Structure 1
Amino acid sequence: MSNFNSMTLMAAGEMIAEMSTQAAFSSLILGWGVEEFCGSGSVASKANDLVRFAKSSMGQRSVPTVNGNCDLRRAMVEHATTASDRDKQNKPDVWLRLVAGLKMDGFELVEERVPDPMGGTSIFDDAPRMIKKIVLRRMLPEDVPEADFREATSEVEALLDRHGFNVAKGHLAQATQNFSQGNWSSANAMIRDFYQELLDKIAEYFGCDPKVSDDAKRQYLADTKSGPFLLHEYNEWENDRGKPAYVLGLWARLHPHGSHPGLSDEEDCAFRFQIILITARIFLRRFDKRVKGQ
């Protein structure tokens, strides 16, 4: 089952509406066998009904597509990604939300050259004529454990709530909002603030003076006073700085342009977001176990 998030499905529905006339939309939903759930009215209204149905438990139903049978949610997303350049230009914000949502779902859009389904051969030789096609690809294999970034977000948010890390949760929410709107530099800034606030509050929970510097708080997390919380055997932190330190290295990766958020693009921002979510989940799980064990 393709469990896309609400933002992805909503953007897919809006993109399909932009792509479709009344007749084209009717043909699409008739082919999928979901016309009874799409009501009447404008194409946009019917598309909203389609999204609501897809988000329900019945949205898991299998429907026929040119790429074979798949669940309705996947069919909607794949169809939306076939939007023409004109459709994307007409709805740039919708296309941006679709691509950003897919990144959070662990997918990316890849342009491939495939044989023209209409047939024909190249004008230069007898080889099949090739066309460009946008293909939906998983960023990581589906069966890799702990690789579901949306699931990571949910677990991180739940653990932040459990331990009252409200400021960190606020930074995470702002990072998500800015990412979905394509504000890469602003998202990067919030990602860094989230990471910093999380480690600060963990250090303070274990007794570190809130007034000391952020670097001193990291040192405290690697000291026996905190357990230590950061593990030397995993090269998460080394007090003598003589060995690679993951926490410090990740912080440097989030600051390639110094204290300023710096220039970034969608791919770089998505990488920062995903690696921070995975890291935060590991540290929050460890923190949760330590607190429960006290």
Structure 2
Amino acid sequence: MTTLSNPTLGLLIEIADQAERFGVLEVETLLMRADLQRQDFRPDRYYRGNIQTTQGLMRYWVNGAREIALEGNIEARRALLAFARLILEKTLTTKGPQLPGWVDDPSGALLGALSEALLADGYDLRWEGVVIAGDWEEREIGCYRLAPTDATPAPLGLEISALEADLASRGYTTVLEHYRDAVHGLTNSKYASANGDLRTTLEDLVTRLAVDHTGFARPTRANTGSEAINHMINGNRIRERDGGAMLRGLWQMIQTNGPHPGQTDADEARWRMQMVTATARFLLRHFPA
């Protein structure tokens, strides 16, 4: 992930503009909170828009920050993410049929387009809210938040990956601890340690899912990954051609070059992180809570 794409940023600006909550002064405040109004974020090329309008003002500073973020500037990337969070927190504060009137339909045409654009950028759009009982009906209030779909290479503020959020919500605390250990190992160039923790992450996850969803009886001994995977596939709870073969193959591949110094490198550890992260998210979708 480098930074948010033009389609995503364009949709966020359109959502803010159509929400009719922002005048020029409100946008100024929002840009200040996101730390976007910085001299080094001014766009290099000639800007054709009218910065006296809300859309024009947002586009001016967002375009400038994106140019800098594409060059690898972490502060610009953080500012754009903060801008996105603030837009979501201040506009999409109800869920489902109670979405604001400017959204085209109950499913939310703009919301759906934004969700797809964010997924392409490497972010999952997820709702966090509570149900409030009213005089006539219940309503759910809260806001949408962003969660990276990939393991972040370095901590960025309050970011938490979508996988970590899913594991925490299910109470899979040991799986989460192993995964975070693997992320820490990869971030700190401890590649053999990261590989070992990734293997443990996947083994713990497939065993927990097999127990919770397929009636698998977990043995008291360690090393139950192969048995859990075979139980799910042989019981047709995950078909061979619909992910079973992939899971079995990945499990076999990550047995080698594990927690042994000198037998792995950064590229292999990064590949394992991507594969285990993607496979874990696939399994959690396949076996919903």
TM-score (norm 2): 0.49
TM-score (norm 1): 0.48
